[in-house]
Each structure stands twice: as structure tokens, then as C-alpha cells.
Amino acid sequence: MARHMTGMPAPIERLVIVGGGTAGWMAAAAFSRFLNNGHTKITLIESAEIGTIGVGEATIPPILTFNKMLGINENEFIAATQGTFKAGIEFVNWGAIGERYVHPFGFHGREIHGVAFHQLYLRARSRRPMPPISEWSMSGAAIRLGRFARPGTDASTPFNQLYYAYQFDAALYARFLRTYAERGGIERIEGKVVDVALNGESGFVETLTLADGRRIEGDLFLDCSGFRGLLIEQALKTGYEDWSHWLPCNRAVAVATENAVPPEPLTRATARSHGWQWRIPLQHRMGNGLVYSSAYLSDDDARDTLMANLEGPPLADPRTLSFTTGRRRLSWNKNVITLGLSSGFVEPLESTSIHLVQAGIARLIALFPDKRCTDVERNEYNRAMKDLAEDIRDFVILHFHATRRNDSPFWDYCRTMQPPDSLARKIALFREKGRVFRDNFELFATPSWVAVMFGQGIWPDGYDPIVDALDEDHVDRAIEQMRRDYEATAQRLPTQAEFIARCCAAPGSPLRAAVAAS
């Protein structure tokens, strides 16, 4: 055995995470569990002086897997983060002013004899007017009625098709994960990194120097330093691929407000004349922000637009943030892996940024290196992260490009731009017979593409001929029954406020009192 081991490459002994925002603490929490091996020391450095971005509060369903992986109790988690549940996103004014649609999580309907539901829907729609396809979704029905309950593992159909994610207070989320990670043995250092020393031969990062002179050495570094990309860009000059020509928004102005209504189980994205506005309901407040392009709207006008379109009184002054949509050319360069905003950013329209952190962590666990950080592992990681980022990019571009809006130069640009070839191909295929072919391990499944294509007004010229092999009356009766089942099941659920008040309200949450009084 000993002889065997002498040839083994040296394992990572010091993992250093730079940054204590959502990305840094997600990584710290995950590695406190998965690198709990007795020989890897994990250190996280964060700087209170610099702070965190303080936004990033809506997620998508895979986050449930992350929490399960960490063994987090969902009720405790929701209570600790002032969280709410999210069954999908409602898009207002995207296809055209006055239109709205829902992108619900999970499926639309059920296949019949292996034929995708949306194809059955398309045939029915070719014969008569049909309600929106989201009426054939458990999550869609929950959103429409403002209801929510957690489907247990033994829940019956169609309740078990209620897919959901979380909305939470970003600062409380980082605090929750910090407690978890510190319990797991992570060392946290408060300090500002002022210098990064590279090995003269390999170019690997070796030592970080803090403002007070302390030196931190490491074998592997996670750059979670936010947009500045302290290690991946400032030290390693990795380069950035700019996607602004497809996604021209480069600013956001954000403000929290008091809740004017009980929290609904959805994030809302409302298109405005030069961008769009998010609305994320939490237990104790509403998160709001306007994402816009500085080429078309001044910061002052953006702030005025946001403040004129709030539902409740603001809790603070609005904050403006700048970003460049795109991605770092390599997610893993030398011995540095970038997670979070340091790896790039696609605007938060489909709440994908925190998911990219999670996906990066999962892939890094699967490809965890030894001290050499070989090209084989690095290339595999980079390929997977590039594919994922580009899939997300295309899905987000679809929302801007597939519009009939012509009320501003911003929408004229988005509507008439040339999308990436990969997206153009998808749209062309869908326009013919409503087909969606997924490449590799794309994040968004067919129902998501269908929800947004239909929602934005891309109606195929026909449907898949395979549908005509199925008896039309039988299919029509079956799909009508499905719709009634979703509706009836959602009717039986509590409102989201009742559900939260019952099992996961934050200490002192206004929801408890509101529900008790109703």
C-alpha cells in the first residue's frame, strides 16, 4: 500500500477562497462538507470594507439539490433567510405591451403515448382558441391562484409536479451559509487582499498579501471576489468575452420596499421602455430593480422610472450597479477557479447566476484536482462551464429578441439584432413544428423553451405529424381533464402566506400576524 502511495500526486492541502459574497460562502459551505478529509485546510478571506453586491435573491429549482447536498432543513433555511417560495416567473409586457405570460417551473401537462404535451396543445390550438399553456402546469396553477404547499415525496399527481425554488434576502443567505461553513471548520479571515504573487515558473498563484501584511499561501484558489475578478483577471489576465451586443443592458438600479401585498410564489419581470423591472417578494420586504442600458437611458431617468413603479414605500435610497454582460474566457486558469460574478454575468432575468455558482461547485467537486491541476481536468471543467453559460445566454437573449415591441430604440435594437447562430437555429426549428432539441446538458428543458417561445409570440406554423396518429377526441378530453386537475389541486392548497406562517416564518415575520388576523 505504502509503495502504491509514493507515486500518488500530492493532494491539495490549502484551499483559499477569496470573497465572502453568495459565491464565496456557497463554495465554503459545500467544501466544508465535501473536503472534510483531515488534510485540506479551507480558508475564506473577505473584506467588510469592500462589502458584497447585495443583490441576487431569486433562484431556480436546482438550488433544492444544493441544499439537500448540504443537509439543510428547508423550514429552518426559509425562516433564517426571510425566504419565500417561487414556482416560476411572470413576464409582463415582453411580447407586446399589455401581454403577460408565465414561465412556470416543471412540466406542461403529460405526454400521451410518448407525444410531448405541447405538440398536443398545438394541434388543439390549430382547431380552436386555447387558454395559455401555463394552465397545464401545476406550478403555473399555483402561481395563478397565489397558492403554495411543499409536495412531499409521496405526493400524488399532479401535486408532485409542483416544482419550486427560493427567493431570499442575499445578506441573510450569506450569513446562513457562513454559519454552516464555520461549523464545518472553515477558517474565515477578515482582510483586504492587496497583492497576489505568482510562481515565476508555473504562473500559479502562490501567495496573497493582505493590507495588514499577513500572507496567505495556497495550493488552489477560488476567485469569488465579484466583478473585479481579483485573481482570475487582475492577476492572471484571463480575458473576458463581451456579450453586450446581444444583451445591451449594463446597469441596474435596485431598491427594497415594504410589502404592499402578501408575497406571491413568483418573481415578476416587467418590460419597460428601455429595460425591465424585477419584483422579488420576501417575507419582510420586496426586492425591486430596474435593469437597463446606459446607451438608451440615463441613470437619473432609470431611478425615476423605478421609483415611479414601486408598489410600496421604499426602505432605503436606490443603488446603481454597473456590469458588462459576458463571461471570463476560462473559468479555471492555472490553479484559480472563478465562481460567481468574477466568472461573468448574464442579467438576472431567469435567475441563473446563483445556479452557475452551484454548477461550478458541483463540477469542481467532480473534477477536484491535486496540486498539479492538470490540463485534462481544467479543460473538461472549462468546456462544461462554457457550454452552460452559453445555453443560459441564448435563453435570456430569446426574451429580448422575440418581441413585437417597437416603442423605443432599445426594443428596436433587440428585435432586429442578429442573435447567436445557436439561438437562431433553435428559433427556426421551433417556428416550423414547435420542436426543441437540447444540446449536451442544457439547463433549460423543453417546457421552459416552449413557455418563453409561446409567451413571446413565436407560434409554430404546424405541429409534429406524429400527433395525428392519436385520436383527436380522446386527446382533447384527456388534456381538458389535465387542466381541471391542475386547477382543482391548486385550489386545495393554502396561500403562500398561510403556508409560510404555518411552517417556516422568520422570527417576528409580519406574515404570522397577517395570517392570524385574516
- Residue 53 sits in the site that holds ligand FAD (CB under 6 A): yes
Q: With binding defined as CB under 6 A, does residue 228 bind ligand FAD?
A: yes
Count the neighbouring beta carbons within 10 Å of the beta carbon of residue 491. 10
Binds ligand FAD by CB under 6 A, chosen from 12, 43, 56, 221: 56
Name the catalytic one among 41, 86, 192, 334. Answer: 86
3-state SS of 308-356 is HCCCCCECCCCEEEECCCEEECCCEECCEEECHHHHEECCHHHCCHHHH
Name the nearest CA neighbour of 487 among 132, 122, 164. 132
- Is residue 354 within the footprint of ligand FAD (CB under 6 A)? yes
Distance between CA 368 and CA 361 in Å, rounded? 10
Collect all residues with Cβ–Cβ distance below 8 Å to 479 and sequence separation of at least 6.
109, 117, 120, 121, 124, 136
The pattern of x and - marking residues 150 through 189 that bind ligand FAD according to CB under 6 A reads: --------------------x-------------------
Residue among 175, 192, 371, 435 that touches ligand FAD (CB under 6 A): 192
Q: Classify burial at 321, counting beta carbons within 10 Å of its beta carbon; exposed 0-12, middle 13-18, buried 19 or more.
A: middle
CB of 30 to ligand FAD, least distance (A): 14
Pick one of 83, 109, 248, 340: the residue that binds ligand FAD (CB under 6 A).
340
What minimum distance in Å lies between the beta carbon of 183 and ligand FAD?
19
Q: Which residues of 140-152 are buried (b: 16+ CB within 10 A; e: fewer)?
A: bbbbbbbbbbbbe
Q: Could you tell me the smallest distance in angstroms from the CB atom of residue 193 to ligand FAD?
A: 4
288 binds ligand FAD (CB under 6 A): no
User: Could you tell me which stretch among 118-126, 219-227, 435-443, 502-510 binds ligand FAD (CB under 6 A)?
Assistant: 219-227
CB-wise, 169 or 485, nearer to ligand FAD?
169
Q: Which stretch binds ligand FAD (CB under 6 A): 53-61, 80-88, 137-145, 385-393?
A: 53-61
Among 82, 353, 448, 496, binds ligand FAD (CB under 6 A): 353
Determine the interface stretch with ligand FAD among 51-59, 101-109, 112-120, 140-148 (rule: CB under 6 A).
51-59
**Nearest distance in Å: CB 160, ligand FAD:** 25
On the question of a cis peptide bond just before residue 262, with omega within 30 degrees of 0, the verdict is no
Decide whether 67 or 126 has the Cβ nearer to ligand FAD.
Answer: 67
360 binds ligand FAD per the rule CB under 6 A? no
- From the list 96, 321, 367, 429, which residue makes contact with ligand FAD (rule: CB under 6 A)? 321
Question: Out of 31, 32, 57, 497, which residue is the one contacting ligand FAD (CB under 6 A)?
Answer: 57
Specify whether 192 is catalytic.
no
Q: Retrieve residue 395's grid coordinates.
A: 435563453
Give the list of residues 6+ apart from residue 252 with CB closer than 8 angstroms, or none: 55, 289, 290, 291, 292, 320, 321, 323, 347
CA–CA gap between residue 295 and residue 275 (Å, rounded) = 11
CA 144 to chain centre: 22
Q: Which of 219, 338, 455, 129 is nearest to 447 (CA)?
A: 455
Give least dist CB 2 to ligand FAD, A.
41
Site string for ligand FAD, 11-40 (x = CB under 6 A): -------xxxxxxx----------------
Q: Which amino acid is at 325?
A: T
- Is the Cβ–Cβ distance between 149 and 489 less than 8 Å? no
Q: How far is the CB of 173 from ligand FAD (least distance, A)?
A: 9
State the pairing for strand pair 220-223/336-338. parallel
Q: Which residues are CB-contacts of 516 (< 8 A; sequence separation ≥ 6)?
A: 501
Q: How far is the CB of 226 from ligand FAD (least distance, A)?
A: 3
Distance of alpha carbon 3 from its chain centroid, rounded? 47
Binding test (CB under 6 A) with ligand FAD, winner from 79, 116, 142, 193: 193
Distances (CA, A) of 388 to 38, 87, 303, 345: 33, 22, 33, 12
In angstroms, the Cα distances linking 386 to 328, 373, 439 are: 9, 19, 13
Segment interacting with ligand FAD, rule: CB under 6 A, options 50-58, 180-188, 196-204, 429-437:
50-58
Point out which span in 348-356, 436-444, 495-503, 508-516 binds ligand FAD (CB under 6 A).
348-356
Task: Judge whether 387 and 26 are in contact, CB under 8 Å.
Answer: no
List residues with catalytic annotation.
86
Interface contacts to ligand FAD, rule CB under 6 A: 18-24, 45-47, 50-53, 55-59, 170, 192-193, 224-226, 228, 230, 252, 254, 289, 321, 323, 340-342, 348, 351, 353-354
